[in-house]
Structure 1
Amino acid sequence: MERPPLGPAGIVVDLAAIRANTRLLRATAGVSLIAVVKADGYGHGMVESALAAQSGGAEWLATATIEEALALRAAGVEGPVLCWITTPTSDYAAAADAGIDVSAYSGEELDEMAAALQGRAEPARIQLKVDTGLSRGGAPRAAWDELFTRAQQGESAGLWRVSGIWSHFACADEPGHPANDRQERAFRDALALAEERGLRPELRHLANSAAAILRPSARFDAVRCGIALYGLDPAPGEATGIGLEPAMTVTAPLLMVKDLAPGDGVSYGHRWVAEQPTTVGLVPVGYGDGIPRHASRPGAPDAAATVGIDGKPRPIRGTVCMDQVVVDLEGDRPPVGSEVVVLGPPSAGGPTAQDWAEACGTINYEIVTRIGGRMSRRYVDSETGADA
């Protein structure tokens, strides 16, 4: 029998879903929306996701690094952009020239910025990040006064305009966690102190995706939405009813079908052994493409991640390899070349990113952000029915 042609494993991103999610989040929050497109748009494509979010009503974009923000500008993306990770070698002048808001965490960082911005005709735009309890980036409470005072001095000197003050929740995906109240109170304390020191930022923002949906009191002037922008629940079990649309679908062809007898071991280390006659299929994706190696759950095979073939969940069996995985077809023999749905929205007929996260003991953010490797990425627009 002639072997059918096989397409490569690939990622399809529906830009209409990103637009729809942006509109939904913007309407839910009722304030400006900062669309976070860092890490290549959480695996969805930074530039394409940024443009889709803007067309859906996002007033701002955000990246982690200056380099990501400059890449947006190089691609022709306009509009306000915020970034928040810098190093002593960061090109503050280039960011200022491109109209990018850069975050400062400390007086020392402001001194570095001041040295780089001397002699500019127009003030740069900076935002100040305060640590309200995440204990990650941002000025700790003991340093707020120094940060605000130094920032106001630089603003008076014409070096920069303090355009925003912000912070980040640690536990917004757990709406009942007491840290949320503490952090919101701390943020309000920081805003009051900044005002005492003469700062009047145009943008005060604290809420991430989960808080944007679940915590109205934390919305302030804007919310920062990342994972929800791409249609994934930022607080599984808490925000499922809002109507987000997953934008990513990952598919691959079925390469081979074979029979196994009882006692046949599968993949490296024979960490899964057939207990009864079955059929298995070979799928050409592996950890080189971002498939978690522990997805097969060798110690708990009943909890293994699955893929979808013919609308049925097919569990991964044996160790995930760099380039391929083996799935249990349980006696079925779908044709070689059949579409394998690695992940996608429920309508795609396979597991969701959240299903993968639960099987692998991680979060949906990690699943979609790490997927890719050698996979192609294609954009569609389900509103128009055309490739984008």
Structure 2
Amino acid sequence: MLEAYFLDAREHIWAEAKITKDLFGVENVAHMGRAIRPGVAFGMSVRPYDGAAQPAATHGRIERKSIQPPDRPARMHSDSLFHVDLAAIARNAAAFSRLVGPPTVCCGVVKSDAYGLGARPVAETLTQAGMSLVAVFRVEEALDLLSSPLGRPVLILGAVRSLCPMHPLMPSLASGDVQLVVHDLSQLKEIGAVATSLPGPIQVHVMVDAGMRRGGCPPSEAPQLIEAAMQMPGIGLAGLMTHFTSAGTDAAATRAEQAVFSEIVDRIGRLPEGCRVHAAATAATVRDPAYHQGMVRIGLGWVGCIPGDEALSAAFGSQLSPAVRWRSSLRHVHHVQEGHAIGYGQRWRAKRDTRVGIVPVGYADGIPLAAGACDGCEGARIAVVSSAGERIAGYATVIGAVSMDQIAIDLGDLPEVSAVEPGRAVEIISATHEGPTTLRNFAAACGITPHQLLASIGPRVRRVLVNREETVSQTEAWHPAAAV
């Protein structure tokens, strides 16, 4: 028996129920309470959510929360579940805090709804685990997080302009609960024009362009902008920052960009008390302690994944807990004869008689188009679970064109291929450190980054929040019906 909590973000309510099975065979939903509201997952009974933290998982019970993306119709399907492990995220946050050590602090990057995983629960988890700030890109994202009990500032990375004294962000700017990134002098002047009417200074971080050339001021203009921020009434300089172009793949380029940034910091000399210098995101944080400085910005790292070179990932990745898992099951299985083609465009033909399984997720759910094998390309692989549900039986290649709602996989190489029938559990992304279905490896097989894969998973895929005490290994007992 599992205790489940499903959040409908449009209604800001929680549904409670007792369930005995999940995606792979929902049989019982015993409602707790009477009030039923439309649009709630599974039509469960509900109670108001007061913002209090839900109880942590205990032995034999898993806390689960399913997030409905805001301002979207309730069109999630039950063909797959995307698990987000908050306990793993907390462990990863703590691991990075230990890596950098004081006085360096960590900022958790949760832009784009925490890469689609749910900005509010992820941000709460990161701050409770010790991160000192969280960062978003847009004003709207910051406003959404302000409704959560973070107790930490929110840093807006994008260039915020055209603020007015009545803007809903103003009280949080005055209190320091929201901080801004300044990219040029004209933006600073716009912020300063409204800052003088506030009871407290607006805290800003000056962004220096050391080579990315997508934001920030050129190095030649940086000293003037930094001095202006330190002297302007109503403005507090909380940080100096830059962003590396290739920290995960190019050590030489990263050193050169750091040198550009360091030269500017040295020219400024004494900075205001509390002003933090920061340049490193996840990859640079792992690459070299010299990049830690006053703060590091951790994005993909809290998911349990290190972007960039394999060697860089191996250096620290084993100390992290993979925090995401995407599960589905076979909807249909059929025989395909040698020479017969699969899917639109006949891009893949069987080189032998085989069995093909159909998984009911497609590009509308976030499966990359490049996942499918065709003549001349290998394709990504997904895990197929054993018939007893105790282990991974093997891996099956995605074949042919990825369709909107489904993919085909070649089951022919599985040792128990003749026994594979509809209903068998499969895993697209695994919460493991190795194998073709890790977040990193599945994304690489599709020719994209892990960030892009996560952010592309569609709103109709149900996100379920769980808390697990330890990372699941490939050999650990697998019980798909228990939704663990």
Q: Given the two structures, how large is their TM-score scaled by the length of structure 2?
A: 0.73
Cα 1:304–1:332 change in 2 (3 A) is farther
Mark the runs of 5 or more structure 2 residues left unpaired by the alignment.
1-23, 27-77, 386-391, 472-481
Amino acid at match of 2:410: D
Q: Does 1:29 align with 2:100?
A: yes
Partner of residue 317 from structure 1, selected from 399, 424, 427: 399
2:267 is matched with: 193
Cα 1:230–1:240 change in 2 (3 A) is same
1:101 is matched with: 179
2: CA distance, partners of 1:23 / 1:263:
53
The superposition leaves residues 168-208 of structure 1 with CA deviations (integer Å, 9 ceiling, x where unpaired) of 11121135x32222222222222233336x75552111111
1:370 is matched with: 456
3-state SS of paired residue (1:358): helix
Q: Does 1:114 align with 2:192?
A: yes
Q: CA RMSD in A?
A: 2.4
Identical amino acids, percent of aligned pairs: 27
1: CA distance, partners of 2:368 / 2:418:
25
2:118 is matched with: 45
Contact 1:381 1:387 in 2 (8 A): no
Contact 1:22 1:53 in 2 (8 A): yes
Q: Does 1:328 align with 2:404?
A: no
Structure 1 position 387, deviation (Å): 9.5
Cα 1:165–1:201 change in 2 (3 A) is farther
Contact 1:305 1:360 in 2 (8 A): yes
Amino acid at match of 1:360: C
Q: Does 1:151 align with 2:264?
A: no
Moved more, 264-273 or 239-248: 239-248
Contact 2:124 2:149 in 1 (8 A): no
2:361 is matched with: 285
Structure 1 position 309, deviation (Å): 0.7
Q: Does 1:179 align with 2:257?
A: no
Cα 1:292–1:339 change in 2 (3 A) is same
Structure 1 position 347, deviation (Å): 7.1
2:138 is matched with: 65
Matches within 5 A, 1:1-388: 5=25, 7-30=78-101, 31-89=104-162, 93-98=167-172, 99-154=177-232, 157=233, 159-174=234-249, 177-195=251-269, 199-200=272-273, 202-237=275-310, 238-242=312-316, 243-301=319-377, 303-310=378-385, 311=392, 312-330=394-412, 331-346=417-432, 351-383=437-469
Q: Given the two structures, how large is their TM-score scaled by the length of structure 1?
A: 0.91
Amino acid at match of 1:162: L
Structure 1 position 107, deviation (Å): 0.4
Amino acid at match of 1:224: R
Contact 1:269 1:319 in 2 (8 A): yes
Amino acid at match of 1:336: P
Contact 1:257 1:333 in 2 (8 A): no
Structure 1 position 384, deviation (Å): 9.3
Structure 1 position 228, deviation (Å): 0.8
Contact 1:95 1:102 in 2 (8 A): no
Aligned pair count?
379
2: CA distance, partners of 1:200 / 1:148:
14
Amino acid at match of 2:108: A
Contact 1:307 1:340 in 2 (8 A): yes
3-state SS of paired residue (2:146): helix
Cα 1:5–1:217 change in 2 (3 A) is closer
Structure 1 position 350, deviation (Å): 6.4
3-state SS of paired residue (1:373): coil
Amino acid at match of 1:204: V
